[in-house]
C-alpha cells in the first residue's frame, strides 16, 4: 500500500463540488442519448505524448483541483483500491434508513458557499427531482436520490481523493483520456511493468465486475444498494464517475456483454447528476413524504452502511 498521506493532504478541495464543477467544465455538453461518435481508443499512458496532449483543461483548472487529482492519481494504487474494499464493503459501520443516511451525509460541511452551492441533500433531491419531472422510472428517481450517499466516507475520515474523482481501472495501463494523466507517473503501479500492460491483472473481456476501479463513493454505494435496486440502477451507481468509460469510450477490451448492454443506462443517468445544479434549490421538507414512500417501495427500514 502507498504511503499514508498526512492530514493536510486529505482536503485539497474547498468542497467536493469543486471536483464536480471541474467535470462540468471539462464536459460542458451532455453526451447525446445515442452516445458520442466512435473515437479511436487509446491504450496505455504514453509519457512521450504528455507535452502535446497537455490540454487546456489542465491549465485552466483551479490549483486545488489540480492538487486533488495529483493526490488521487498518486495514491490510488491497485493495492489501495483492494484494501479499501476489504475495509468498507463489510458494511458493518452503521444501520440507517435511506432518508436518514441522506440527512447524515448532509452534515458534511466544507468550505462551500451556502448561498450559491448546493448542500449534499439538495444535490440528491435536485438530481432525483429532474428525473421525476422527466417521467423516468421510479427506481431511477430513487437511484438519483441515493447516488452520492457514498460520500459519507468523508465523514469517516477518508481523504477527498479516496471518495470522489473520476474513477479508472487500477492494475492495468492507464488511459490517456483520464484527466491529468501525467500525475500517474508518481503512482507506484506506474513502475510495475506487470500492471502497465493493456490487460494488466485482468483477462480480456472479463467484465467490469472483475475490475478494481480506483476506490470511491461509487463502488461503496453500489454495495450498499446491490440487493435493492435493478441492475440498470446499480450500474448507474457503480459507474457514474467512470468518465473514462461512459464518456471517453476507453477500456472496451475489459467489458463483457452485460457492461455493453448497461452503458446506455449509465449515460442516461449522467446529465441528471452533472447538469442539474443551477436550478432552484429543492424544498427537502416538502419533498420528504414522496421520497419516504419511494424509499419504502425498494429498501428495508434500515440498511447496512
Ligand atoms: Fe457522485
Ligand atoms: Fe452527484
* Residue 36 belongs to a domain: no
Residue 35 pLDDT grade (very low, low, confident, very high; cuts 50, 70, 90): low
Angle at Cα 12 formed by Cα 161 and Cα 112, nearest 5°? 105
> What average pLDDT score do residues 53-73 get?
87
Question: Ligand 2 is a single-atom ion; what residues have CB below 5 A from it?
Answer: 148, 273
Q: Which residue has the cell 470522489?
A: 164
> What average pLDDT score do residues 74-97 get?
98
C-alpha 52 to ligand 1 mean position (Å) = 31
* Cell numbers describing residue 216: 470511491
Residue 263: closest CA among 248, 284, 278: 248
C-alpha 126 to ligand 1 mean position (Å) = 13
* pLDDT exceeds cutoff 60 at 42: no
C-alpha 273 to ligand 2 mean position (Å) = 5
Predicted pLDDT of residue 30: 85
> What average pLDDT score do residues 238-244 get?
98
* Residue 232 belongs to a domain: yes
C-alpha 200 to ligand 1 mean position (Å) = 27
* Cell numbers describing residue 147: 447516488
* pLDDT exceeds cutoff 70 at 51: no
Residue 256: closest CA among 200, 198, 205: 205
Give the number of domains in the chain. 1
Q: Provide CB contacts within 8 A for 145, sequence distance 6+.
A: 98, 102, 124, 125, 127, 128, 291, 294, 295
C-alpha 54 to ligand 1 mean position (Å) = 26
* Residue 38 belongs to a domain: no
Predicted pLDDT of residue 118: 85
* Residue 227 belongs to a domain: yes
* Residue 1 belongs to a domain: no
Domain that residue 196 falls in: 9-31+44-304
Predicted pLDDT of residue 157: 94
* Residue 215 belongs to a domain: yes
pTM: 0.90
* pLDDT exceeds cutoff 60 at 112: yes
Residue 40 pLDDT grade (very low, low, confident, very high; cuts 50, 70, 90): very low
Ligand nearest to the CA of 166: 1
* Residue 37 belongs to a domain: no
Burial (0-12, 13-18, 19+ Cβ within 10 Å), 75: buried
User: Residue 286 belongs to what H/E stretch?
Assistant: helix 284-298
Residue 124: closest CA among 255, 269, 282, 245: 282
* Residue 192 belongs to a domain: yes
Question: 95 forms bridges with which residues in the sheet?
Answer: 304
Residue 116: closest CA among 23, 12, 15: 15
Give the helix, strand, coil percentages of the chain, each rounded to 5: 55, 0, 45
Q: What are phi and psi of 14, to 5 degrees?
A: -65, -35
Please state which of the ranges 6-20, 94-108, 179-193 shows the lowest mean pLDDT: 6-20
Of 31 and 37, more confident? 31
Amino acid at each position: 500500500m502507498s504511503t499514508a498521506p498526512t492530514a493536510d493532504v486529505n482536503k485539497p478541495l474547498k468542497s467536493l463540488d469543486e471536483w464536480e464543477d471541474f467535470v462540468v467544465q471539462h464536459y460542458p455538453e451532455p453526451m447525446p442519448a445515442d452516445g458520442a461518435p466512435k473515437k479511436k481508443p487509446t491504450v496505455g499512458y504514453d509519457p512521450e505524448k504528455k507535452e502535446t496532449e497537455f490540454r487546456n483543461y489542465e491549465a485552466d483548472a483551479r490549483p486545488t483541483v489540480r492538487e486533488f487529482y495529483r493526490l488521487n492519481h498518486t495514491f490510488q494504487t491497485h493495492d489501495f483500491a483492494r484494501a479499501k474494499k476489504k475495509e468498507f464493503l463489510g458494511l458493518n459501520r452503521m444501520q440507517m434508513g435511506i432518508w436518514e443516511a441522506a440527512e447524515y451525509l448532509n452534515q458534511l460541511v466544507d468550505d462551500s458557499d451556502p448561498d450559491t452551492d448546493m448542500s449534499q441533500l439538495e444535490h440528491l433531491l435536485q438530481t432525483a427531482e429532474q428525473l421525476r419531472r422527466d417521467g423516468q422510472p421510479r427506481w431511477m428517481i430513487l437511484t438519483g436520490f441515493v447516488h452520492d450517499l457514498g460520500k459519507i466516507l468523508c465523514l469517516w475520515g477518508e481523504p477527498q481523493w479516496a471518495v470522489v474523482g473520476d474513477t479508472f481501472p487500477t492494475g492495468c495501463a492507464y488511459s490517456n483520456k483520464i484527466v491529468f494523466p501525467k500525475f500517474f507517473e508518481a503512482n507506484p503501479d506506474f513502475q510495475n511493468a506487470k500492471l502497465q500492460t493493456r490487460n494488466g491483472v485482468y483477462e480480456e473481456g472479463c467484465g467490469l465486475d472483475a475490475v478494481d476501479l480506483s476506490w470511491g463513493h461509487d463502488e461503496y454505494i453500489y454495495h450498499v444498494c446491490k440487493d435493492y435496486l435493478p441492475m440498470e440502477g446499480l450500474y448507474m451507481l457503480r459507474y457514474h464517475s467512470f468518465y473514462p468509460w461512459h464518456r471517453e469510450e476507453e477500456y472496451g477490451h475489459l467489458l463483457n456483454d452485460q457492461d455493453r448492454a448497461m452503458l446506455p443506462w449509465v449515460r442516461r443517468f449522467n446529465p441528471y447528476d452533472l447538469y442539474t445544479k443551477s436550478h432552484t434549490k429543492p424544498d427537502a421538507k416538502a419533498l420528504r413524504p414522496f421520497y419516504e414512500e419511494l424509499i419504502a417501495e425498494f429498501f428495508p427500514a434500515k440498511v447496512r452502511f
